[in-house]
Amino acid sequence: MKLSLNWLRDYVAHGADNELLAHKLTMAGMEIEGVENVDGDTVFELEITPNRADCLSTIGLAREVSAIFDKPLKEPKISVPKIPARKVSISIADTEDCSLYLGTLIEGVTVGAAPEFMGSRLKAVGIRPISNLVDITNFCLMEYGQPLHVFDFDKLEGGRIEVRRARKGEKILTLDGVERELDPSVLVIADAVRPVAIAGIMGGKNTEVGPQTKNVLLESAHFDPILIRRAARKLGLSSDSSYRFERGIDPAGVARTSDRALQLILESAGGKAAGHGKAGSTAVKKAKAVTVTHEQVGSAIGMDVAPARIKKIFKKLNFTVEESARGIKVCPPSARRDIKDPVDLVEEVARVIGYDNIPEAMPVIGENSIPSNTQRALRNRIRELMLAQGFDEMVSFSLINREDLERARLNSKDVAAIINPLSLDQEVLQPSTLPSLLPIVRTNINRGQRDLSLFELSKIYDVRGQEKEVLSVVMCGLARQDWRELKKRPVDVYDLKGALAQTLERCGLTELRYALVDANIYQAKSGVTVAVNGRSLGSFGSIHPDILQNFGIKNTAVYYAEVEIPYKDFVKSARRRFSALSQFPGVTRDVSLAVPQEVPYQDIADMIRREGGDLLRHVSFSEEYLGDKIPAGQRGLVFSLLYQSTDRTLTEDEVNAVHQTLLGKITDFFSATIR
């Protein structure tokens, strides 16, 4: 945003030199990025944050300066004649796209040069003067922040305006000389036959004002910010108008700026107001009142601010202020949609006072030690365990593209969406980390790094925006070779499960349960859920090849896990007591079973632990076998069992008695056979 200091002085006599003014604006949250001199006028280039669309105008910035220096604000006096009852035909197809459209017909204008003061103001802020009519719309745009447009009324087919979506195949030659193809995602201003402007972005050549123009229609409207932003990105076309519409203009400024432009046109180009038209509603939704106390302000900024000064600051910023039993009740103007909570009002007070004027104070630190943060400690423990297993940590964005959800076969509708995202690549909060991590895998593979073991600690969100912290793991390529393996082998789902189980179990979650799951993101019969204390934490498996292809990953199997970090279960499970190690040797028995394929390994392991008695110390899974020696519909499973006593050396007969009893129960319950 460019600010001409000569133009600024038209509205507020602040009395400060340029250096002090720049410093005060920066301390109020509007950083000065550059200063230049244009024909004897000093011009500031300001960085305006997206939530402060009200400062994308000279009067908006003048109001800030008025509050900072406690000087009166002088707004232009607007006086327009009564407009005849002649009606201009204006219609809006969908008021969600355009809530208000005002059109004023002005007849008998003379197109020429704009007044000298107007031309110099526009040149100072980088706008080339064209003609009095066009310059007036640009002048009002920079003055009030409300975009305007003028049509040559005699070139409008049917003498009417319709605000609608473009039809497929329609084209328009815009004022920059480029023919653009439109589609129904683009909002247009049309006459009875064709589009004559791209709403909120740029007008068309077919109704351009020229030297022979005698009758014009002045447009002032309020368009949906999201629609304008998407159209601007789609068409690759940005303008001063679209920049402001994207950030949300003040609906109360539509009529005011239209009257201001009408006044200037009648003064500069002559003519008369011959008619008008309106579609939509001029009613402005009243902002929600917010209450803040004197104590809240003082506590938050670290200095005592008198209640009278607080109220004066709010009034200077055009807020409505009332005293209430609970504190100072403030109703922000329609231009300040960013004011929603008491902390926002505290920020306004701090900004106007100036952050550099808030005294520094050392925090009071008690003698008590800082309490430990269990969640942070567990998070760090998980990170250490994953790194110790050879994994690399990755960091991705929580905001993703909605199309990536569809590529990953995830629900793209019931998600938390950003109301007015600045980029389509960051329009929704991720309900899963899969769409964020697969592009990372693709990038690494494309750059020659095919053997990946990656993890991330991040958050996912439901449709209400409620967050859940998860551990995500991705593996592909060749497994890390250890001293026991003579040949390199590709990673598999057991590598993923082993890394996940070791991390969770070493954090205290020893009672993990696994079960097959039919999820469309995994290949058939490869998806597995992970649960603790009867509650599902997440799942892991081999990503479906169709999803990998959607993300440009070919000829590579990718294994993925996403499990919630259940802090409460971690805290409960982490309180473990030491039990003495046995001083006596143990006896190992291997059990080789042929069981029906639908019997989960976990069910067999659970029965062994449950029925093995006090002498059974440990159960581990050795291998799975599918081959010619196994009957159809069955699979071979091998378990290793350790029997051990804490007070004696076990005899062969003791172990055999317990072991044979256990085998009998297993074969009977699971219809298994001993191999």
What does the mean pLDDT of the chain come to?
Answer: 91
Q: What is the pLDDT of residue 91?
A: 96
Instruction: Answer whether residue 584 shows pLDDT above 80.
Output: yes
Q: What is the pLDDT of residue 622?
A: 83
Residue-wise pLDDT for 418-465, tens only, equals 877 777 788 899 999 999 999 999 999 999 999 999 999 999 999 888
Q: What is the pLDDT of residue 570?
A: 64
Q: What is the pLDDT of residue 616?
A: 92
Q: What is the pLDDT of residue 575?
A: 57
- Chain centroid offset of residue 36 CA: 35
- pLDDT band, residue 374 (cuts 50/70/90): confident
SS3 571: helix
Average pLDDT (389-414) is: 91
Output the CA–CA distances (angstroms, integers) from residue 247 to 186, 217, 222, 264, 424, in the order listed.
Answer: 17, 26, 12, 27, 15
Average pLDDT (604-615) is: 89
Percent of the chain with pLDDT over 90: 71
Q: What is the pLDDT of residue 565?
A: 87
Q: What is the pLDDT of residue 58?
A: 96
Q: What are phi and psi of 167, to 5 degrees?
A: -95, 150
Q: Which of 98-112, 606-620, 631-645 is the most confident on average?
A: 98-112
Average pLDDT (196-200) is: 96
Residue-wise pLDDT for 335-370, tens only, equals 998 999 999 999 999 999 999 899 887 777 666 665
Q: What is the pLDDT of residue 371?
A: 61
Could you please report the per-residue DSSP string of 510-565? --EEEEE---TTB-TTT-EEEEETTEEEEEEEEBPHHHHHHTT--S--EEEEEEE-
Instruction: Answer whether residue 148 shows pLDDT above 90.
Output: yes
CA distance 55 to 69: 17
CA distance 441 to 560: 11
Domains of the chain: 2-69 (3.30.56.10), 89-280 (3.50.40.10), 290-357 (3.30.56.10), 374-574 (3.30.930.10), 587-674 (3.30.70.380)
Are residues 245 and 225 in contact, defined by beta-carbon separation less than 8 angstroms? Answer: yes
- pLDDT band, residue 115 (cuts 50/70/90): very high
Output the CA–CA distances (angstroms, integers) from residue 368 to 362, 371, 374, 377, in the order listed.
Answer: 17, 9, 18, 20
What residues pair up with 35 in beta bridges, in sequence order? 44
Q: What is the pLDDT of residue 525?
A: 83
Q: pTM for this one?
A: 0.68
Sole residue written with tokens 């042929």: 594
Please report, in angstroms and rounded to a whole number, the separation of the first and last CA atoms in the chain: 80
Output the CA–CA distances (angstroms, integers) from residue 493 to 179, 467, 558, in the order listed.
Answer: 54, 28, 9
Angle at 40 between CA 34 and CA 46, to 5 degrees: 20
- pLDDT band, residue 628 (cuts 50/70/90): confident
Residue-wise pLDDT for 484-517, tens only, equals 666 788 999 989 999 999 998 888 787 788 888 8
Residue-wise pLDDT for 536-570, tens only, equals 899 999 999 999 999 999 989 999 999 998 777 66
- pLDDT band, residue 157 (cuts 50/70/90): very high
- Chain centroid offset of residue 210 CA: 44
Q: What is the pLDDT of residue 512?
A: 83
Q: What is the pLDDT of residue 369?
A: 60
CA distance 178 to 331: 45
- pLDDT band, residue 633 (cuts 50/70/90): confident
